[in-house]
Structure 1
Amino acid sequence: MGFSRSQICQNDKQMTAKQAQQQLIQDKSKLIPMSETYPYKLCRLSKPKDNSLEKPWYVEFYVWDATKQKLHRKRYVLSDDTAKAREIEAAKLIKQTNQQLIAGAVINPVQKKQIGPIQPETPLLEAIAFFLKYIKGSKKPRTYETYKSDLQKLTDYLTTTNQTNLTLGTFTFNHAQAYIDYLIIDQQLKNLRINNLKATNSAFFGFYQKRKTINENPFKGIDNLDVQASKHKSYTNQEALAIKNYCLEHDPRLWLAISFVYYGFIRAGYELRSLTIGNLFEKTILIEGQNSKSGDSEHVMIPAALEKIIQQYKLRDYPKHYYILGTDGPSETMVDKNHWYRRHVKALEATKLTGLNHDFYAWKHTGVIALWFATKEIELIRSQCRHKDIATTLLYLRDLGIYFDYTLINKFPEL
């Protein structure tokens, strides 16, 4: 079945192979400067079965339209005088085009706006973008991640309620209260989560208030919601064994993650995800300040049981920049912030331990309790927890239900 010239060129003007190459090079030079891989479909040569020159020959492929956010079909007509020449030109065009598609070529690239000085009349979304750039360059990575996630929630709300035209100066106390109401009534978020979102938004507007860009912080004056204190409940020996057996059979990588939290008292969040092979020393693990809660770089000791696991996984054989708990094993890619929590939930469900106030973070508490009863060495606990002083450690142990026997003082021998 043949194609008319109008059918072939329905998406693009007819052009020779040479013109096609030049056109795609122009597209390539307008790549959006983002480290993402865009969808595409590689080139294919379409020609008559009998190699007739009277019927159309063309190279077809699909390239990402950055403006319309969808794939766009392109067809380049081959118009050389012989079948052999067309095949040669097609081969060159396919090779060069495929290389450019794989490298990230797009059409109709979105022109990013240059963010200038923020003023009260600056669109609120633009003010958020500037604030996040500032935080990314001045704060720890996990702080940036939190602000980005929380402010995305506000952005989604503004989009849903058709309020994206609000400016930094026109967002008032009433807007802020309406947003909190939305989180309570429509989103039905927990009070603690809402309080955290309010704190982030208050920090955002406070940033511009300190710069005297706006006069008032619209979130100031909104009270925090009541939060019932809840503690991460540690695991009993029987519960820990049940999860261990599940992990060793179904998810060994989860048990590796649990082991670093349990033995190293490493916080089950950004601290854990950011650990690299280079952080493993002969006897200790380095927790880098940029990734820790305190902001200080500190070492924790590697117990013999954890060292055995490290050697079992041959972790020290990987490149030093690889994340220990990366995607599908040590890799250059850090997992997302909820990755291990999601996998842990599956383990809790499989072992029927849901609804008992257990979570992934509780493995740190379980480890602290185990080390205390095995050693009763308060300084060892303090050091491994990276507490600044013994008083902090004593309060921490008390929160875990560990109390000291003050009657021991009565064993003081008489003089």
Structure 2
Amino acid sequence: MTPKPGADIEITPSLPIAKAAHIYIAFCKKALAANTFKSYRTGVMKLLGYLERHRRGNLVLDKLEVADVNEFLNELITVDGVSNRTRNNIKGACGTFFNYFAKLDRSKKLKKQGNPFEDEDVRMLPFVQNKHQSYSLPQPKQYREACEKLGLDNLLTFCRWMYYTLMRPHEELRRLRVRDVRTKVIYVSGDNDKTNEGDYVDIPLPLEQLIQQQKIRDFPGHYFVFSQSGTPGPVMVGPKFFYRRHVKVLEKMKLEDSGHDMYSWKHTGAIALWTATKDIELVRQQARHSNIKQTIEYLRDLGVRLADDDKIHKFPVF
């Protein structure tokens, strides 16, 4: 029987980083959502690549210095060619990696020594924040008309589901199965959900009508709601299936460089729900945010004014 990674390895400051990485990646694969796992694994593997490139593959945890970390992060840009934002993300992932072992080190030496990725001399680099892009009021109608002219009914249906559920297109909605479409809610599986815990979104009346029109619940529970045939099937569509068709629609609308991606329908739905209800808690629940602050920041990033413009005019006269 093959032993579990790390089962017979004592966690000490002298543990080689390469072995530590093997233990950590195995843990993350079981404990984290798929996308989070990929992000953490990428960061740690980049660190191992740096050590191998400098013939330091046997370096142990407590011998990685701040100077090494800065050199590694610099080479992410100069050698690997990543962006400032990706470099910052990898810095965070590797910092979490070291904290993981600092907590397991019974000698407390790693904790006392400090995390080299969190040293004050290891700084974040500036980057341009990509703002979320939603559709303006006339564009949904134009998008629908373009889909109809191009014969892309399947794409239009997919976008309508995203608009109503605020689900992420590639990681969640594309992987949705018939059994997860319940009576009044849709279950977002922990295997697909970004929190790895699973959650629910409500089914608004227009979506329920669409579900009944498609007869979704009549199909076998293990079928994926979206397949290439346009009806639920045993094989889900590929990650680029809807994206390629989405690009054709944008070309038809002359919006190629407008910044509208598949996520734009999620953002458009969030704005529409807020505009119609002014219920921040409802938007939070449907977007599955952990707190109201996250929802407020999300809507503000979309350019939504949360204040009631008429209330300010009720200011008493002095």
Which structure's residues are more often helix, by fraction? 2
Aligned to 1:320: 221
Give SS of 1:180's match: helix
Cα drift, residue 135 of structure 1: 1.6
Specify which of 168, 185, 193 is matched with residue 60 of structure 2.
168
Cα drift, residue 349 of structure 1: 4.9
1:384 partner letter: Q
Q: Is the 8 A contact 2:180 2:188 kept in 1?
A: yes
* In structure 2, C-alpha distance between the alignment counterparts of 1:113 and 1:286, rounded to whole Å: 32
Aligned to 1:263: 164
Q: Is the 8 A contact 1:158 1:164 kept in 2?
A: yes
Cα drift, residue 202 of structure 1: 1.2
Which structure's residues are more often strand, by fraction? 1
Cα drift, residue 223 of structure 1: 0.7
* In structure 1, C-alpha distance between the alignment counterparts of 2:246 and 2:36, rounded to whole Å: 24
1:243-282 CA distance string (max 9 Å, x none): 4445453654443432222111123453334432221012
* In structure 2, C-alpha distance between the alignment counterparts of 1:274 and 1:203, rounded to whole Å: 29
1:342-389 CA distance string (max 9 Å, x none): 664565456432332322222222112223444455554344334566
> After alignment, is 132-141 or 309-318 more displaced?
309-318
Are 2:54 and 1:185 equivalent residues in the alignment? no
Aligned to 1:303: 204
Specify which of 265, 268, 273 is matched with residue 366 of structure 1.
268
> After alignment, is 147-156 or 362-371 more displaced?
147-156
1:320 partner letter: G
Cα drift, residue 217 of structure 1: 3.0
* In structure 1, C-alpha distance between the alignment counterparts of 2:237 and 2:24, rounded to whole Å: 25
Cα drift, residue 156 of structure 1: 4.8
Are 2:294 and 1:402 equivalent residues in the alignment? no
Cα drift, residue 148 of structure 1: 2.5
Give SS of 1:270's match: coil
Give SS of 2:44's match: helix
**Percentage identity across aligned positions?**
35
> CA 1:234 to 1:148, structure 2 compared with 1: closer, same or farther past 3 Å?
same
Give SS of 1:299's match: strand
1:227 partner letter: F
Q: Is the 8 A contact 1:124 1:164 kept in 2?
A: no
> CA 1:276 to 1:150, structure 2 compared with 1: closer, same or farther past 3 Å?
farther
Cα drift, residue 129 of structure 1: 1.9
- Could you say which structure has the larger radius of gyration? 1
> After alignment, is 392-401 or 229-238 more displaced?
392-401
Q: Is the 8 A contact 1:119 1:168 kept in 2?
A: no
* In structure 2, C-alpha distance between the alignment counterparts of 1:309 and 1:368, rounded to whole Å: 19
* In structure 2, C-alpha distance between the alignment counterparts of 1:269 and 1:225, rounded to whole Å: 29
> CA 1:343 to 1:145, structure 2 compared with 1: closer, same or farther past 3 Å?
farther
Q: Is the 8 A contact 1:176 1:219 kept in 2?
A: yes
> CA 1:206 to 1:379, structure 2 compared with 1: closer, same or farther past 3 Å?
closer
* In structure 1, C-alpha distance between the alignment counterparts of 2:237 and 2:43, rounded to whole Å: 19
* In structure 1, C-alpha distance between the alignment counterparts of 2:228 and 2:43, rounded to whole Å: 25
Give SS of 1:219's match: helix
Aligned to 1:217: 115
Unaligned runs of 5+ in 1: 1-32, 34-110
1:193-227 CA distance string (max 9 Å, x none): 21111111111122122222855533222111113
Aligned to 2:259: 357
Unaligned runs of 5+ in 2: none
* In structure 1, C-alpha distance between the alignment counterparts of 2:253 and 2:292, rounded to whole Å: 37
Are 2:170 and 1:277 equivalent residues in the alignment? no
2:203 partner letter: I
* In structure 2, C-alpha distance between the alignment counterparts of 1:325 and 1:148, rounded to whole Å: 29
Are 2:24 and 1:131 equivalent residues in the alignment? yes
TM-score when normalising by structure 2 = 0.74
Aligned to 1:68: none
> After alignment, is 190-199 or 368-377 more displaced?
368-377
Question: Which segments of structure 1 move beyond 6 Å, counting only runs of 4 or more?
Answer: 111-114, 326-329, 334-339
Within 5 A, what are the aligned runs for 1:85-96? none
Q: Is the 8 A contact 1:125 1:164 kept in 2?
A: no
* In structure 1, C-alpha distance between the alignment counterparts of 2:24 and 2:77, rounded to whole Å: 26
Are 2:131 and 1:231 equivalent residues in the alignment? yes
Cα drift, residue 121 of structure 1: 5.4
Q: Is the 8 A contact 2:225 2:233 kept in 1?
A: yes
> How many residue pairs were aligned?
303
Cα drift, residue 340 of structure 1: 5.5
Aligned to 2:41: 148
Within 5 A, what are the aligned runs for 1:40-119? 116-117=8-9
Cα drift, residue 192 of structure 1: 1.7
